Structure 1
Amino acid sequence: MGEYIIGFSNWIWDTPMLGLLMGGGLILFVYSGFVPFRRFGHALKVVRGKYDENLPGQISSRQALSAAIAATVGLGNISGVAIAINMGGPGAIFWMWMSAFVGMATKYFTCSLAIMYRGKDSSGEIQGGPMYVIEEGMGKKWKPLAVLFSVAGILGLLAIFQANQLTAVLRSVIFQPNGWDQGESTKWILGISMMLIVAVVILGGIKRIAAVASRLVPFMVGLYFITVVIIVFQYLGEVPATLWLIVEDAFTGNAVMGGAVGAVIVIGARRAAFSNEAGIGTAPMVHGASKNNEPIREGLIAMLGPFIDTIVVCTLTALVILLTGVWETTENDGVRLTLSAFEMALPGFGKYLLMLAVLVFALSTMFTYSYYGHKCFNYLFGADKADYYNYFYLLTIVAGAVVSLEVVVSFVDGMYAIMAIPTMISTIYLAPKVKAASKDYFERFKNE
């Protein structure tokens, strides 16, 4: 079964999916008039709460961004970057950067549309996300696309990757050095423990999820940022050469057998999609619940996500792995590779700092992913049955803790690719609506 999952993931992420996400994102980037660059300052004012109003919705725009970043700034930045370097070499990071810049435009459009075309679930609650954008913005005849997105969302937005990597780091840092590790039984114990912790938060609904995420996100980003900056500072003289290595390898593919530049681009795009989720359709679901009646304002807030996630946090992780040289001297993969880098740079306590960061990153992502899957289930089966999804979600946390990393990554990648198809089709189809709304919005706020 695992071989089929890996094979499907590799097949669907070939050139067509690369063209859809990066090519489609580039079209949106240019079509927007380069909004991610030109309106970055205005977006920062918005997220600081300058324009907050008491409007319909479930959570504030800032909480929406925090919840979205909680899902994206997570193990994709710690483990995903390590996987990218392990598979594609330093050059994969360059293509993660390119994916992030076009991803900012993609999130600007998708999250503007999430407010523009909100729908209501069977209980009358206002909801947002690609499935509602498709049905409300494109019409009922396009509903099969909304169903496809929701089915893939239910499966792809499980916390199996987070459970897998948190289990790996806890075993490496705590259990194995102390002789407590009992193999499979330890995985089961950790999986059940994670399930119980997550249950306390997610069974309280989006307001509790957003409240917890808005407190955890600044803490986890701050802790990780400070730790990584300390490590990078130790190797400061080597940073320029390392950055050049990333750029050079992106166009030579020397770290990949045969110098396959195309393979490096695909690996970078896959890991960027997993890291910042631009074009996948997750962020519009939480931004669609924001107390905001200005679609463009929400889009501006959302576009900060890929910048924070990939340009800042992923780059710092990559520098730590590359500067310490562990990517060339160890067989470790995933979070264990990042763990090796932290231990080399900060002997004795580096691994504990990373373990704490991984713990917070993983749990915050688990909290937010449950909301995404819950919304997909709600759309398909109705609000009265949506809570059943939470129990399914909690059980899969245990499963994620015990299966192999390669199968977990491939399964999530495959489902993300399927989710991206309806998300990008609807976004490109409705892009003129966002363009018109952007013109109106910036006319009204031209002096801001």
Structure 2
Amino acid sequence: MSFLQSVDAALAAFASFVWGTPLLVLLVGGGLYLLIVSKGRPYRHLGHSVDLLMGKYDDPNDPGQVPHRQALSTALSGTLGLGNIAGVAIAISTGGPGAIFWMWVTALVGVATKFYTATLSVMYRGRDAAGELQGGPMYVIREGLGRRWMPLAFLFAIAGLCGMLPVFQSNQTVQLLRESFAVPLGMVSGDGSMLFDFVVGVVLAIAALVVIAGRIQRIGKFAVRIVPGMVIFYLALTLIVIGYFWQQVPAAFALIFSDAFSGQAVAGGALGAVIATGISRGAFSNEAGIGTESLAHGAAKTREPIREGVVAMVGPIIDTLVICTCTALVILLTGVWEHGAGIEGVSLTAEAFSQVFGGWGPLLLLLMVLPLAFSTIVTFWYYGVKCFVFLFGARWQGLYTAAYIALIVIGAVASLNAVNSIIIGMYAIMAIPTMTSTLLLAKRVNRAAHDYFTAQELEGTVKET
């Protein structure tokens, strides 16, 4: 076994270990607990998010940095894209169709989880080293739980620095660009080209630097322009494929449900592997309970923490229940998951689209992936720099930005297996302080939610659905 193979194996073992049963119980069990103690009340007020996203309650004088819709778009730009496309393909390849069911479970309980984490991110905002008001799990822990819980805050920030690297996005973006554009045109061979990957990585890095120079305000404006259009475009593509195979749709859903409790399709009957794959990929997709959502929603301009919690609930619905389901159906209906030996990640999804659109399939997918993957890259910089400033202060954040830009290029030529294991493993670590602090502070959110929704119902501005 070569050195690189040994590193890949070690990182894969690490990711498998941290995503063991205790963490699955913490994420899913914790989400179920939050759903129960909230008595499902947040779910009944999902309609209120529409008014908030339409700007009905916006006040430019409120504390924060971006409006509700930009905060949600920023959070979604960090989850939509390769997590829904490459992530779903990896989930099916490694865990079988049943993994999709467990991704749905993370989304259903993730609605409650995001309500609590986003509410807390506004309720317990704190000042960073530069004196700016910030939100996120590390500030929730420091401001809400006190100094004796600071080790958890540091744990999140350290894991965030490693888990929110741009390497996965740049890796898969370059792979799709190479295989759907460069190879067909004869620019590179089928085995790929280190030079091509490097040049594309440099271009991505320069473009990212231009956007992140404007910090969260420019990122928010960029995301709110890109995300909605790309979501609609991708849904249109997937619905065409689903419509083409419409007679097989019931069988695809039946396969998902049956394999979720048997694991026979790919994982050799290892049901635990199916569940672990689905939950870890679901968490990577919608990030409910991971804490990254708090970093984005904590920047919302509002004096009412509950409002941002209501807005955040929309995330798992769009991200996992809609987009990931469409991707899964495309892969299952076209059958590429059974016959795509050697094809992994975003290439498997591209192959699925080729079954209907021919050579145009990967190109159409590329048109959607590029802007969303790029928006994820710039959003992850914002997440990472907040973690860096929390740990080391604002003085040296330029060093982090320089390292981040360099990692975009490195990720373009890195091993997918190593990249995937690092990101997945660090996401698991981030979930520990996030869910622990959320569960400890849940009663405070419940009291605030009761007061807020009761006042709104009395005013007649919010009605239960």
The bucket for the TM-score relative to the shorter chain is over 0.9
State whether residues 73 and 361 of structure 1, in contact with CA within 8 Å, keep that contact through their aligned partners in structure 2.
yes
Tell me the distance in 2 between the aligned counterparts of 1:379 and 1:37. 33
Verify: 1:343 aligned to 2:354, yes or no. Answer: yes
Q: 2:207 maps to which residue?
A: 197
Verify: 1:60 aligned to 2:67, yes or no. Answer: yes
Deviation at 1:224, TM superposition (A): 0.6
Deviation at 1:257, TM superposition (A): 3.9
Verify: 1:270 aligned to 2:280, yes or no. Answer: yes
Tell me the distance in 2 between the aligned counterparts of 1:36 and 1:80. 28
Q: 2:364 maps to which residue?
A: 353
State whether residues 35 and 105 of structure 1, in contact with CA within 8 Å, keep that contact through their aligned partners in structure 2.
no
Tell me the distance in 2 between the aligned counterparts of 1:359 and 1:112. 31
Q: 2:27 maps to which residue?
A: 21
Verify: 1:305 aligned to 2:312, yes or no. Answer: no
Deviation at 1:442, TM superposition (A): 0.6
Deviation at 1:3, TM superposition (A): 2.3
**Which stretch shifts more, 85-94 or 34-43?**
34-43
Q: Deviations over 1:342-364 (max 9, x none)?
A: 01111131111101111111101
SS of residue in 2 equivalent to 1:109: helix
State whether residues 282 and 372 of structure 1, in contact with CA within 8 Å, keep that contact through their aligned partners in structure 2.
yes
> Which of 189, 212, 221 in structure 2 is aligned with 1:211?
221
Q: 2:137 maps to which residue?
A: 130
SS of residue in 1 equivalent to 2:313: helix
Verify: 1:435 aligned to 2:441, yes or no. Answer: no
Identity, % of aligned pairs? 52
> Which of 322, 328, 337 in structure 1 is aligned with 2:338?
328
Deviation at 1:23, TM superposition (A): 1.1
SS of residue in 2 equivalent to 1:392: helix
Q: Which amino acid aligns with 2:123?
A: M
Deviation at 1:253, TM superposition (A): 1.1
Q: 2:266 maps to which residue?
A: 256
Tell me the distance in 2 between the aligned counterparts of 1:116 and 1:132. 10
Pairing 1:375-394 to 2, within 5 Å after superposition = 375-394=386-405
Q: Which amino acid aligns with 2:47?
A: G
> RMSD value over aligned CA atoms?
1.1
Deviation at 1:36, TM superposition (A): 4.6
Q: 2:249 maps to which residue?
A: 239
Verify: 1:33 aligned to 2:39, yes or no. Answer: yes
> Which of 380, 395, 407 in structure 1 is aligned with 2:418?
407
Tell me the distance in 2 between the aligned counterparts of 1:28 and 1:280. 15
Deviation at 1:177, TM superposition (A): 1.6
Tell me the distance in 2 between the aligned counterparts of 1:122 and 1:91. 46
Deviation at 1:135, TM superposition (A): 0.3
Question: Normalised by the size of structure 1, how large is the TM-score?
Answer: 0.98
Tell me the distance in 1 between the aligned counterparts of 2:109 and 2:291. 15
Verify: 1:224 aligned to 2:230, yes or no. Answer: no
> Which of 301, 323, 329 in structure 2 is aligned with 1:291?
301
Q: Which amino acid aligns with 1:201?
A: V
SS of residue in 2 equivalent to 1:72: coil
Q: Which amino acid aligns with 1:5?
A: L
State whether residues 130 and 423 of structure 1, in contact with CA within 8 Å, keep that contact through their aligned partners in structure 2.
yes
Q: 2:380 maps to which residue?
A: 369
Tell me the distance in 1 between the aligned counterparts of 2:359 and 2:95. 30
Deviation at 1:33, TM superposition (A): 1.3
State whether residues 203 and 390 of structure 1, in contact with CA within 8 Å, keep that contact through their aligned partners in structure 2.
no
Tell me the distance in 1 between the aligned counterparts of 2:72 and 2:127. 21
Deviation at 1:16, TM superposition (A): 1.1
Tell me the distance in 1 between the aligned counterparts of 2:279 and 2:335. 23
State whether residues 375 and 386 of structure 1, in contact with CA within 8 Å, keep that contact through their aligned partners in structure 2.
no
Tell me the distance in 2 between the aligned counterparts of 1:43 and 1:289. 17
SS of residue in 2 equivalent to 1:445: helix
Tell me the distance in 1 between the aligned counterparts of 2:388 and 2:89. 32
Q: Which amino acid aligns with 1:368?
A: T
Q: Deviations over 1:323-368 (max 9, x none)?
A: 1111111111110000000011111311111011111111010111
State whether residues 153 and 373 of structure 1, in contact with CA within 8 Å, keep that contact through their aligned partners in structure 2.
yes
Tell me the distance in 2 between the aligned counterparts of 1:50 and 1:233. 37
> Which of 57, 70, 76 in structure 1 is aligned with 2:77?
70
Q: Deviations over 1:263-305 (max 9, x none)?
A: 1110000100111111110011111111011111100101110
Q: Which amino acid aligns with 2:390?
A: Y
Q: 2:3 maps to which residue?
A: none
Verify: 1:83 aligned to 2:90, yes or no. Answer: yes
Q: Which amino acid aligns with 2:401?
A: N
Q: Which amino acid aligns with 1:240?
A: P
Q: 2:4 maps to which residue?
A: none
SS of residue in 1 equivalent to 2:265: coil
Aligned length: 448
Tell me the distance in 2 between the aligned counterparts of 1:361 and 1:32. 33
State whether residues 96 and 267 of structure 2, in contact with CA within 8 Å, keep that contact through their aligned partners in structure 1.
no
> Which of 147, 153, 156 in structure 1 is aligned with 2:160?
153
Gaps of 5+ in 2: 1-6
Q: Which amino acid aligns with 1:97?
A: W
Verify: 1:8 aligned to 2:20, yes or no. Answer: no
Q: Which amino acid aligns with 2:182?
A: F
SS of residue in 2 equivalent to 1:252: coil
> Which of 109, 113, 122 in structure 2 is aligned with 1:115?
122
Tell me the distance in 2 between the aligned counterparts of 1:367 and 1:76. 15
Q: 2:147 maps to which residue?
A: 140
